[in-house]
Structure 1
């Protein structure tokens, strides 16, 4: 099997997919990080393409950065200054050639993630 990476963002406060949320993927290397891709979620809270497709997949450490504040602002969540959750970084490792699915369950005051399928 060849590895690849996907995500899904659900707005648990509103009970719907988080549409239009900006996501950045970084590869981590020691103390450095390299931006690999920037995507936005579609109306299903997913990206239209794999975040890291099989032809670009490499075992290693990565970071997904979810721009939650801008999404919350656009979705009509009452504003705060500053927002409790603005930028959400999730660092993780991929150690085998497999499908890695890193979803984000989001609300204005909390989030969770896990390795999905």
Structure 2
């Protein structure tokens, strides 16, 4: 697979409620070749201790759109008690619902161009998130 005919993707997650990387978040990668094409699940991985996901599957040739699905609910359930200890009035302890996450999953879809690398960081907290094209 030539890097001139395919795009590549990487990501990382920062939990802005505690100012630390989000470890252990499952991420799934899907791709399609055109706006009318069906999504093809390519596989996934999970973030490491630095919040990075370095081993996402390669994109097939002809990919025009990519979707990253972040499974944030399990992360917030696991870290809810840790956040409470770190912050006495942590937002995760207030009205985030039964699961501890207002956004139990985050799906980010973006367009890609062959030969380009796309680093898409997720800034995450129990009540919001932000993404951008990084470098």
Answer yes or no: same fold by TM over 0.5. Answer: yes
* Structure that is richer in helix per residue: 2
8 A contact 2:103–2:126 mirrored in 1: yes
Following TM superposition, by how much is the alpha carbon of 1:9 offset from its aligned partner in structure 2, in angstroms?
A: 0.6
1:81 and 2:98 matched: yes
1:44 and 2:50 matched: yes
* Structure that is richer in strand per residue: 1
Following TM superposition, by how much is the alpha carbon of 1:33 offset from its aligned partner in structure 2, in angstroms?
A: 1.5
1:34 aligns with one of 18, 34, 40 = 40
Alpha-carbon RMSD: 2.1
Task: Give the Cα separation in 2 of the matches to 1:21 and 1:34.
Answer: 21
2:108 alignment partner, SS class: strand
Pairs within 5 Å for 1:47-86: 47-49=53-55, 51-53=56-58, 56=60, 58-76=62-80, 77-78=92-93, 80-81=97-98, 83-86=101-104
TM-score (norm 2): 0.75
Q: 1:99 to 1:26 in 2, by over 3 A?
A: same
2:73 alignment partner, SS class: helix
Following TM superposition, by how much is the alpha carbon of 1:26 offset from its aligned partner in structure 2, in angstroms?
A: 0.8
Following TM superposition, by how much is the alpha carbon of 1:31 offset from its aligned partner in structure 2, in angstroms?
A: 5.6
2:14 aligns with one of 1, 10, 14 = 10
Task: Give the Cα separation in 2 of the matches to 1:34 and 1:91.
Answer: 13
Larger radius of gyration: 2
For structure 2, the 5+ residue unaligned runs are: 81-91
Task: Give the Cα separation in 1 of the matches to 2:110 and 2:64.
Answer: 9
